[in-house]
Every structure is written in C-alpha cells, then in structure tokens.
C-alpha cells in the first residue's frame, strides 16, 4: 500500500450512495481502471482491520493508496453485483449465498487470532442495541408511550441473559456485526466483504442471522434452512461442531436481537438523518421479529411488535 495525493490522473465519475454510514464514496477512473474513493473520518480503524483481514487471505477490498491526514482511501472497485442487487434480480442467488457463507466462516475463524480489536459483543452492547430499538423504533417511529414500552423491560433483560449464557461456548470468533446483502459483493464468483469497521469479538450466529434474516432481501424459509445446513457443513470442515437443535436456539435468539437493532437503525436513519429510503425495509424487519416471537416465551415483546402502532 502506498500513500500519495489524489491528482489529476484520477477522474471522479459519480458519487455512490452506500448504506447508512457517514462515509462518502465516489467511483473514479485512472486510465481504463476504476476505483472507489472513500472519505472516512475513522480511517485508522479501516486500515488496521483491512490489513489484518487481507493478510489472512480474507476477501476485503485491496487498497491502492491512502492519505490518513485527509481521511482518504482509494480502494478496489468491487463492481455493482452486491448480494442485494443479485437477489433483486434473482440472478445466481444460491451460489452467491454459498460464496458469502464460505467467506463468512473464513472471516469468523481465520480473522479471530490476533484480531486488532478489543471490543466485544457483550452484555453492555446487547443492552445498548435494545435501548436503541426502544428509543428510535418504538418511541420515536411508532410513537408508543414510554409507559407501555417499559412493560417489555423484563423480557429484554431475559433475552440478554439468554444470549450471554447460551452463546458462551461460541463467543470467541471475529464478528462483522453487519454481514448483510448490501455489504457483500460477488466478484469472479467469490464473495468480497465491505463495511467491517464495527467488528467485534462475539458469537458465530449473529452474522449468519444478519445474512439469512436480512430485511433487505426476502429469501424463502426453505432456502434459509438449506443455507443453514450448508453453513454447519462448512463449520464442521473447520472443526467447529454444533448440535443442530442447540444451534437453532442460539440462531433464533441472536436473530431476534439483530433485527431489533436493525429496526432502531432504520428508524433513526429515516427520521433523524434524512435517509428516508430506509423506511421501506421496516415492514420486512418487523415481520422477521414477529415470526421469531410467535412461539417464544417473550409474550410482552410479541404483543408490542404486533400492536396497531407497529402494524397499522
């Protein structure tokens, strides 16, 4: 990786709108090659994690150059075939999901050793996600009174304790924390991963639920089951074994937690950051939570996500 100024050799083609972060992206050219120019205020975290993952042959974008003083990066252009775009077209979707799972297991296992991060998906972070869901989705977006929201506090505490207890044997893995279809690109039939800056050390199942219970993409229950089986098969080859029932219990708990965080994020982005297009994904996220809660012990939580304010 070399550091240099952005000069007249590079021509900006267009600005790219990606996700909900504050980072800014442009597609640019140099001769016949295209690159992505990124402005990132936390460029040091990106560079640190990119080097760690790249050195372990995990498929993250290559860096052409960086300028830390200007918070600028020029990185590999992964093209337009995100998993999200392919899913919309129903084009090569199952091989693409298997490629995403192949890369996920590498990220989780090979990315763990000597990972340059000291943040964990722990009890405090779980509670933060729950408060995020309550404040931005239930209170601000749905306008449910705080006295009504308070009724779910005991069940949210139980959920947090269950996640901590049941994921204990499977917590020491590299966790992307937002491993969903818009952060995965398919290039030369391989998956490449972006937006890994909020990585944690945490449980295996959170990233898989982010991928397979993704509000951006509606995959069938049959497809989800097959891809879970494929994931477990890949893990077994790496020496990581789950009992299927035990795995599904943890998967369901972390999937519920994940989509509460997602609803908080969608509400906050659409209401407070002028990114109103995130509203269109809220119904799918609500449905995923409702399905996860139907046969659960969390009755108050089920009642609140099926109330008229959430489902008008």
Is the pLDDT at 107 greater than 80? The verdict is yes
Asked if residue 105 belongs to a domain, the reply is yes
Domain shared by 271 and 153, yes or no: yes
Q: What's the mean per-residue pLDDT of the chain?
A: 93
Asked if residue 48 belongs to a domain, the reply is no
d(CA 22, CA 183): 15
Query: Domain end: 21, 49, 76, which one?
Result: 76
Domain shared by 148 and 93, yes or no: yes
Task: Give per-residue pLDDT as tens, 90-106.
Answer: 777 899 999 999 999 99
Domain shared by 209 and 69, yes or no: no
The residue with greater pLDDT, 33 or 163, is: 163
pLDDT band at 12 (very low <50, low <70, confident <90, very high): confident
d(CA 148, CA 183): 35
Domain shared by 183 and 235, yes or no: yes
pLDDT at 7: 52
Query: Domain end: 22, 50, 76, which one?
Result: 76
Can you give the length of the chain in residues?
Answer: 312
Domain shared by 145 and 279, yes or no: yes
Task: Give per-residue pLDDT as tens, 73-91.
Answer: 999 999 999 999 999 887 7
Asked if residue 52 belongs to a domain, the reply is no
Domain shared by 187 and 113, yes or no: yes
Domain shared by 35 and 171, yes or no: no
Domain shared by 199 and 279, yes or no: yes
Asked if residue 233 belongs to a domain, the reply is yes
Task: Give per-residue pLDDT as tens, 193-235.
Answer: 999 999 999 999 999 999 999 999 999 999 999 999 999 999 9
pLDDT at 2: 44
Domain shared by 110 and 71, yes or no: no
Is the pLDDT at 5 greater than 60? The verdict is no
Counts for the chain of helices (H) and strands (E), in that order: 11, 9
Structural domain count, the chain: 2
Asked if residue 51 belongs to a domain, the reply is no
Asked if residue 53 belongs to a domain, the reply is no
Domain shared by 70 and 146, yes or no: no
Asked if residue 57 belongs to a domain, the reply is no
Asked if residue 137 belongs to a domain, the reply is yes
pLDDT at 4: 47
Domain shared by 29 and 159, yes or no: no
Domain boundaries, position 70: 11-41+62-76
Q: Which has the closest alpha carbon to 85: 14, 185, 18?
A: 185
CATH of the domain at 142: 3.90.1200.10
Segment 41-66 shows an average pLDDT of 95
Domain shared by 273 and 129, yes or no: yes
129, 19, 109, 158 alpha-carbon torsion, rounded to 10°: 20
């Amino acid at each position: 990786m070399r550091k240099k100024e952005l000069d007249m050799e590079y021509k900006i083609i267009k600005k790219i709108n990606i996700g909900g972060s504050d980072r800014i992206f442009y597609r640019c050219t140099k001769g016949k090659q295209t690159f992505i120019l990124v402005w990132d205020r936390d460029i040091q975290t990106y560079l640190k994690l990119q080097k760690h993952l790249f050195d372990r042959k995990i498929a993250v974008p290559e860096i052409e150059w960086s300028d830390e003083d200007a918070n600028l990066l020029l990185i590999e252009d992964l093209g337009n075939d995100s998993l999200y775009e392919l899913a919309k077209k129903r084009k090569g979707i199952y091989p693409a999901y298997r490629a995403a799972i192949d890369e996920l297991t590498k990220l989780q296992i090979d990315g763990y050793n000597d990972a340059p991060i000291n943040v964990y998906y722990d009890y405090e972070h779980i509670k933060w996600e729950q408060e995020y869901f309550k404040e931005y989705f239930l209170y601000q977006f749905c306008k449910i009174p705080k006295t009504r929201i308070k009724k779910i506090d005991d069940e949210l505490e139980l959920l947090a304790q269950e996640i901590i207890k049941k994921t204990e044997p499977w917590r020491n893995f590299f966790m992307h924390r937002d491993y969903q279809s818009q952060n995965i690109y398919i290039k030369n039939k391989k998956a490449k991963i972006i937006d890994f800056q909020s990585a944690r050390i945490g449980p295996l199942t959170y990233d898989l639920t982010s991928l397979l219970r993704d509000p951006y993409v509606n995959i069938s229950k049959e497809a989800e089951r097959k891809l879970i089986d494929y994931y477990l098969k890949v893990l077994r080859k790496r020496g990581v074994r789950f009992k299927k029932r035990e795995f599904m219990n943890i998967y369901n708990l972390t999937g519920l937690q994940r989509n509460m965080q997602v609803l908080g994020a969608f509400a906050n982005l659409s209401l407070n950051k002028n990114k109103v297009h995130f509203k269109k994904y809220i119904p799918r996220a609500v449905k995923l939570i409702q399905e996860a809660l139907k046969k659960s012990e969390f009755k108050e939580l089920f009642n609140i996500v099926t109330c008229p304010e959430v489902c008008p």
